[in-house]
Chains A and B, each alone.
Chain A
């Protein structure tokens, strides 16, 4: 099946009822938090990081029985090997990051003034490899990039998500991400917000729809033993929307991730959570 390219469609598509007045990232975040709090007063933002399980006691029990998630330790070990592997002149991925990568993940993605782009962990990792003439990792590959992310994010376990959106240029990238999230894309005409905000907590098939708050906390999720990054999950949802997924590593995915991660600010990182395989109707 060939999908229309969502970027080509963007200009002509309707934007769902979204916060009308643009008052900056913090105002958008407050508005979304308030909307979810009003509909689900018993759920805190930290509860929402459980995804579908936040609305589904049986799913929550399943998830709690799978801590640590099957495959998490193996992914972390595989990631550590790649992270510490010395490629040339004693260089390694670990050497590219402060503290060998300890306690940095909660600040990603971040807006980089010099390159005028949102830099995800994936971009930063590949930038390091490029600097040393190494082959890049495919952001969609669970065995390499997925494993590195599992290791790198495990080095920030418990750190609070702290995404900065400071200055007009960073605000503009956040707004790009927000707009993408609220824009209908693809043949089925859904926006991300149609399912995840408008119908957060409703059941789509047998899955309660996870809200946008908390979704940057516990990735990479472990699904059938394999790490799934936030980017990979977003690409899967795009495909099910009947849209050609933005390419792995693209600016659009980085902007969506910047928007979503900002909504998780203040929540402690808990990477490596278990998620079940998608049901037949997702």
Chain B
């Protein structure tokens, strides 16, 4: 009886801890979430890397396309794509503080891992 109660309390504490210490969203979630990147509204990605959409405002992103893009170059595109193309419609995620530096890093990981 005592033991069962202690187990229950322990489980409750774990649930609470999990609730308060939410892991930062991973790259895929940041790519998809409308309140974060919402990148999926403009870019398609390979089927295993994200939801199927018809988006074609931006180019389809996959390993072949991004081959050879280093971290710095990808980070810069997400930070402020207007530096490379002042006319672009892609949002300046870093410059306009839509995403913070850690989130942009997660997205770079995600792009590098695309099949």
Contacts and interface: CB of A to CB of B under 8 A. Distances in A.
Given A202-B57, A204-B42, A281-B41, A16 B87 contact: yes
B55 A205 contact: yes
Interface string A268-282: 000000000000111
Contacts of B27: none
A56 B115 CA distance: 29
Nearest to A56: B54
Interface in A49-89: none
A206 B53 contact: yes
Interface residues of A, number: 22
Contacts, number: 53
Nearest to B89: A194
Contact of A203 (B38, B56, B86, B97): B56
Contacts of B35: 1
B98 interface: yes
A188 B98 contact: yes
Given A281-B38, A281-B40, A189 B55 contact: no
A281 to B, nearest CB: 4
A25 B4 CA distance: 78
A188 B91 contact: yes
Given A281-B34, A281-B40, A282-B41, A189 B96 contact: yes
A203 B57 contact: yes
Interface string A183-206: 000011110001100110011111
A87 B58 CA distance: 54
A177 interface: no
Nearest to B96: A187
Interface of A: 1, 14, 16-17, 187-190, 194-195, 198-199, 202-206, 209, 242, 280-282
Interface of B: 34-35, 38, 40-42, 53-57, 82, 86-87, 89, 91-92, 96-98
30 contacts: A1-B35, A16-B87, A17-B87, A187-B91, A187-B98, A188-B91, A188-B96, A189-B92, A189-B96, A190-B89, A190-B91, A194-B89, A195-B57, A195-B89, A198-B89, A199-B57, A199-B89, A202-B56, A203-B54, A203-B56, A204-B41, A205-B53, A205-B55, A206-B53, A206-B55, A209-B57, A242-B98, A281-B41, A281-B53, A282-B41
